[in-house]
Structure 1
Amino acid sequence: MPILNPYISFRDNAREALERYQHVLGGELQIMTFGSMPELPQDPSESELVLHGQLTTDDGLILMASDTPAHMEYQEPQGVAISISGTEVDRLRAIWDGLLDGGTATAPLGAAPWGGDFGMLVDRFGVAWMLSIDTEP
């Protein structure tokens, strides 16, 4: 069965973002740097940038990210949001609060016309998130 995983590109702060997401979401973080792959052409000053990072949470979420070396074109994430939904109210509200820290709510978390709670935010790294909490039993 195929698995769909968000993969976020950053300019040079993927490690900071992944560590923040680990703090908020929990789980195991694995990071491979450009320097760990000396056969790749690279600027030695970028050896500690993230070639590939993967956060795997205890509840099965997988989030991947990498840095974009200076010699490659980079565009900030736009037009896409990472959506997290579920019924675990306390866990999802904690995720909301953690992602919102240093970010901006574009639609405050609150009652949704279709039921439950819904909110949208852009985190401190410029990544858009949507959270949906099904509060019905």
Structure 2
Amino acid sequence: MASRLNPYISFTGDAKQAMEFYKGVFGGNLSVHTYGDFGSEAPPGYADKVMHSMLETDNGFTLMCSDNPPGMEYKPGNNFAVSVSGNDADELRGYWDKLSAGGNVSVPLEKQMWGDVFGMCTDKYGVAWMINITPAEG
């Protein structure tokens, strides 16, 4: 398998719901493993929390996440965003519509000075997304 780079997002108890939401946006196969899946090894109060989850889509996207583990401080920040780009305008607009619904749009999805259609939003789970649609060749 070739190396790949993909986002890994931490949540504070709603990782499963967030990943089901992202599966509804992007499709694909979702695997979810809770702390309880590993039996008596689950920390107290963590049996139903997500230890690791991975969404793999037919388009080659991979998104991973977990609920923040016990003893690790959760520090949400604005220092990252997940970027999805390409030239399939219908597909990307569909992602935009679903990701921005119930969230906050900081840059509307519209043509930008560099020629692409671009938008930024924060979804209902607090994750920042950038959608960039390049003009189709031909």
TM-score range, shorter chain: over 0.9
Q: Deviations over 1:99-133 (max 9, x none)?
A: 00110111000001111200000110110010000
Equivalent AA in structure 2 for residue 9 of structure 1: S
1:71 shift after superposition: 3.6
Give the structure-1-normalised TM-score.
Answer: 0.94
Instruction: Show the counterpart of 2:49.
Output: 49
Residues 27 and 41 of structure 1, relative CA distance in 2, 3 Å threshold = closer
Equivalent AA in structure 2 for residue 7 of structure 1: Y
1:70 shift after superposition: 4.8
Give the structure-2-normalised TM-score.
Answer: 0.93
Q: What aligned pairs does 1:2-17 form with structure 2 within 5 A after superposition? A: 2-17=3-18
Report if the CA contact (8 A) 1:82-1:128 is conserved.
yes
Q: Tell me whether 69-78 or 98-107 shows the greater mean CA deviation.
A: 69-78
Superposition CA RMSD, Å:
1.3
Percent identity, please: 42
Equivalent AA in structure 2 for residue 80 of structure 1: F
Provide structure 2 residue ranges, at least 5 long, that are not aligned to the other structure. none
Equivalent AA in structure 2 for residue 105 of structure 1: V
Look up the SS of the partner of 2:135 in the other structure. Answer: coil
Provide structure 1 residue ranges, at least 5 long, that are not aligned to the other structure. none
- How many residue pairs end up in the alignment? 136
Q: What aligned pairs does 1:101-120 form with structure 2 within 5 A after superposition? A: 101-120=101-120
